[in-house]
Chain A
């Protein structure tokens, strides 16, 4: 039991450190939200008097004289209540609201593509690793090439071929804007059609890594004594592959998979930029360029929690699926 307690304690410390960094980093950026807002309004053609600047400062509460330590205490207190504050760039919407509208898109698109990429990569890796040195091995350089191509370039090529030339898929957006989001088949079909190309780019760009990792683990697992034993027992090759080799070789991939699930919530800035896809990535970009501290902190908090949570789950799961990691306790 102390193994789990130790882990939990470690994660609590990591959480506190992450929250503190999360508080500090946005405040080290140049500029402040009120200046940015005033500058934006001026560029839109408004004449901003000194009174208006003070008014905005009061309205947004960004230009504050409150000492840092008291801001910090407030920040931690609000977090306990689940209050992430009010977004400056989308004032008066709350951060939770802003994130709430974008999060589902990101989770579905990036989440599904991560699951598909990992599943496909591990499966192919197991098959390729089962017969090293055959023609199947050529899958490794082929998929790693796709991963090595700069992601935005791969995405642009796919857009050019499948959207601009062949018109199979739309160029940009998350769904046909004439439809109302909901659970009706028409909308889901539209969302799938719009999401296919972005998802394909993510899968293509990441499947190579999974495949390579799994293939190499397979090769080294195959030389283990227990595989030899299984073969000597006269088990069917398929059973050896599934129950003896692949099962053990997949362990590192499971860890990697959980961690990349944690990163799903941070979205994919480039995917969203290339496809004008709604999601967290563009919110994050906007929050940084508008010095929207509250929104940045909210987003970072979600990302931190997701990554820490995923790691915790892996650590705990590992205790069960691989007893060797519990050895010290």
Chain B
């Protein structure tokens, strides 16, 4: 009898998990500080124990990118800005964008004492090219040493836009890596040039300690401990108990964070553009009302974004531009030809109705539009447990109903949801578009709107799971690849073409720009990013950004 109940308890575990996560935060009060000292405790969202892996190229790497291993330059995605020199000091392209010349910092040593040279850089890029299994950035150039402090990277075609990926590639020491298998080795003793070295590793957490011989001077925060917890809720509990100093993720009652979490400051940045992605292309096999652009426009106007932000996102989300240039940080890229700079904050039912009626839809007796006997009812795919998105869909469903559109949420597991998006077996899916390696909207367009990353329904699509296919947009994306990133005048006409087309066709219906909220201990550490000094995108799980922050902050007192 006991064993039966125990079994039920374990089956119930999975079911109860969601309820548990929802309720765990309820009863917690502030506790005495125990993080203390100059050790910063960070929680990156690791759920369950760590498995040792400090190979920066491994998909299951647990850390060390930016902190132990440094790239040539740091690209701050939070603001439109120039790359920050790290191991590189200068970088320039030749006129046709096929040769990138990089000047290297001299006098840098690896943490085992060996000098850092141009050979290490050439070795790293050669290794990536030779080993497709770790070449996730798709590096296809050829690196060559010019002298001890200069390397060139040569591409077969104009490749300005590949610059940011190349410059943010972390460099590993040739003298150690030439004898290991980069796909299999977990690099238990990582050696890098960065501001930190590995202290000790335990499955429940590992520490980084300051590198006394760091070329930029040893960082002020002498040690960092990364802990493994059961999930984000446990992260919030750790902040409440003041055992965690830096956490990025959903935070209950974030508007009153300074009272609820004394000594901590919450900070939000906007990078992920939340969308209702549509299976948009009839030619590629999509079916359903959402294949009609008029329906997509009607939905766009039916959403009351202010209400949605309040109800589903605790007012942490930001505006979104139908051009998909991040607003406000990338407003300089937005086309003058797109009239609406920002998606409307309030619902505009009149515009929704006129869009639908112009396309031949007529309101039925139940208040929902219909055309050729087909009701305007759409299913939105969402992942079970993504409570903010589920609330968002519920809110949008009631807003859309007022505009004569029916939205129905369909919850499924993350695996199943990914499968549906990939194979095109969906009508609408709530998701977010992510940014590229540099603060430049080009990457969003290439990732999500280029027909090369789409696929017919039934086949696996890449990032362009909306299956958007527009030859003009494809041509403009290709043309942009051959233009220097800083040549705004030459690039803008192509941006105009893309932005006009995607605002018109709207394969991804803009919802809001999702906020990434971090909470950090300001009582014990100062120098965190602020709105005025946004020197990095401050998410603890965004490793290259987090490394910049860790070098910048200092312990108090």
Closest chain-B Cβ to A51's Cβ sits at a distance in Å of 6
Closest chain-B Cβ to A89's Cβ sits at a distance in Å of 7
B13 at the interface (CB under 8 A from A): yes
Are A47 and B436 also in contact (CB < 8 A) when A160-B28, A172-B229, A278-B49 are?
yes
The majority secondary structure among interface residues of chain A is: helix
A273 at the interface (CB under 8 A from B): yes
Closest chain-B Cβ to A308's Cβ sits at a distance in Å of 14
Bound CA span A206–B7, Å: 12
Set of chain B residues within 8 Å of A171, measured between Cβ atoms: 31, 237-238, 241, 243
Q: Write the chain B residue with the least CB distance to A98.
A: B51
Q: Which residues in window 1-58 of B have CB below 8 A to A?
A: 1-3, 5-7, 9-10, 12-14, 16-17, 19-21, 23-24, 26-29, 31-32, 47-49, 51-53, 58
Set of chain A residues within 8 Å of B29, measured between Cβ atoms: 164-165
Q: Write the chain A residue with the least CB distance to B241.
A: A171
Among A39, A160, A205, the residue within 8 A (CB) of B418 is A39
A35 at the interface (CB under 8 A from B): yes
Set of chain B residues within 8 Å of A43, measured between Cβ atoms: 434
* A93 engages B53 (CB within 8 Å): yes
Set of chain B residues within 8 Å of A175, measured between Cβ atoms: 204
A141 at the interface (CB under 8 A from B): no
Bound CA span A35–B423, Å: 11
Closest chain-B Cβ to A214's Cβ sits at a distance in Å of 10
Closest chain-A Cβ to B243's Cβ sits at a distance in Å of 7
* B49 engages A283 (CB within 8 Å): yes
* A289 engages B16 (CB within 8 Å): no
* A90 engages B17 (CB within 8 Å): no
Closest chain-B Cβ to A176's Cβ sits at a distance in Å of 10
Bound CA span A150–B5, Å: 11
A274 at the interface (CB under 8 A from B): yes
Are A55 and B415 also in contact (CB < 8 A) when A90-B60, A92-B183, A101-B49 are?
no
* B24 engages A156 (CB within 8 Å): yes
Stretch at the interface among A2-10, A234-242, A263-271, A315-323: A263-271
Q: Which residues in window 149-183 of A have CB below 8 A to B?
A: 150-153, 156, 160, 164-165, 167, 171-175, 177, 180-181
Q: Write the chain A residue with the least CB distance to B55.
A: A92
Closest chain-A Cβ to B513's Cβ sits at a distance in Å of 16
* A278 engages B435 (CB within 8 Å): no
Among B23, B58, B165, B416, the residue within 8 A (CB) of A91 is B58
B414 at the interface (CB under 8 A from A): yes
A111 at the interface (CB under 8 A from B): no
A35, A37, A118 interface centre (most CB from chain B within 10 Å) = A35
Set of chain B residues within 8 Å of A153, measured between Cβ atoms: 23
Among A47, A52, A213, the residue within 8 A (CB) of B443 is A47
Are A55 and B132 also in contact (CB < 8 A) when A90-B51, A164-B241, A209-B5 are?
yes
Closest chain-A Cβ to B7's Cβ sits at a distance in Å of 7
Q: Write the chain B residue with the least CB distance to A49.
A: B138
A48 at the interface (CB under 8 A from B): yes
Are A270 and B16 also in contact (CB < 8 A) when A101-B203, A164-B241, A213-B2 are?
yes
Closest chain-A Cβ to B159's Cβ sits at a distance in Å of 14
* A160 engages B204 (CB within 8 Å): no
Set of chain B residues within 8 Å of A281, measured between Cβ atoms: 13
A79 at the interface (CB under 8 A from B): no
A36 at the interface (CB under 8 A from B): yes
Bound CA span A59–B59, Å: 10
Are A160 and B48 also in contact (CB < 8 A) when A35-B460, A174-B204, A273-B230 are?
no
Closest chain-B Cβ to A158's Cβ sits at a distance in Å of 11
* B241 engages A274 (CB within 8 Å): no
B81 at the interface (CB under 8 A from A): no
Binary interface encoding of chain B residues 430-473 relative to chain A, with 1 for a CB under 8 A from any of its CBs, else 0: 00001111000001001100000000000010110000000000
* A282 engages B53 (CB within 8 Å): no
* B132 engages A180 (CB within 8 Å): no
A56 at the interface (CB under 8 A from B): yes
Q: Write the chain A residue with the least CB distance to B205.
A: A177
Closest chain-B Cβ to A300's Cβ sits at a distance in Å of 13
A260 at the interface (CB under 8 A from B): yes
Closest chain-B Cβ to A290's Cβ sits at a distance in Å of 8
Closest chain-A Cβ to B270's Cβ sits at a distance in Å of 15
Set of chain A residues within 8 Å of B415, measured between Cβ atoms: 29-31, 36, 289, 291
* B13 engages A52 (CB within 8 Å): no
Bound CA span A269–B21, Å: 13
Closest chain-B Cβ to A276's Cβ sits at a distance in Å of 4
Q: Write the chain B residue with the least CB distance to A30.
A: B416
Bound CA span A259–B205, Å: 34
A23 at the interface (CB under 8 A from B): no
Closest chain-A Cβ to B373's Cβ sits at a distance in Å of 32
* B133 engages A59 (CB within 8 Å): yes
* A266 engages B10 (CB within 8 Å): yes
Closest chain-B Cβ to A56's Cβ sits at a distance in Å of 7
Among B19, B49, B462, the residue within 8 A (CB) of A48 is B462
Are A167 and B31 also in contact (CB < 8 A) when A266-B10, A268-B13 are?
yes
Set of chain A residues within 8 Å of B12, measured between Cβ atoms: 150-151, 270
* A58 engages B133 (CB within 8 Å): yes
Bound CA span A173–B376, Å: 50
* B48 engages A31 (CB within 8 Å): no
Bound CA span A181–B200, Å: 12
A297 at the interface (CB under 8 A from B): no
Bound CA span A11–B247, Å: 49
A286 at the interface (CB under 8 A from B): yes
Among A41, A59, A147, A152, the residue within 8 A (CB) of B20 is A152
* B2 engages A206 (CB within 8 Å): yes
* B132 engages A52 (CB within 8 Å): yes
Q: Which residues in window 114-166 of A have CB below 8 A to B?
A: 118, 121, 147, 150-153, 156, 160, 164-165
* B10 engages A263 (CB within 8 Å): yes
Closest chain-A Cβ to B74's Cβ sits at a distance in Å of 14
Bound CA span A303–B138, Å: 41
Set of chain B residues within 8 Å of A260, measured between Cβ atoms: 2-3, 6
Closest 4 CB pairs of A and B: A31-B415, A209-B2, A269-B13, A282-B48
**Could you tell me which B residues sit within 8 Å of A by CB distance?**
1-3, 5-7, 9-10, 12-14, 16-17, 19-21, 23-24, 26-29, 31-32, 47-49, 51-53, 58-60, 132-138, 165, 183-186, 200, 202-205, 225, 227-231, 234, 237-238, 241, 243, 413-416, 418-419, 422, 434-437, 443, 446-447, 460, 462-463, 541-542
Name 17 A/B residue pairs within 8 A (Cβ), A-sorted: A30-B416, A37-B59, A45-B435, A48-B136, A90-B51, A92-B183, A92-B184, A156-B20, A156-B24, A171-B31, A173-B227, A212-B1, A263-B7, A269-B10, A273-B13, A278-B49, A282-B49
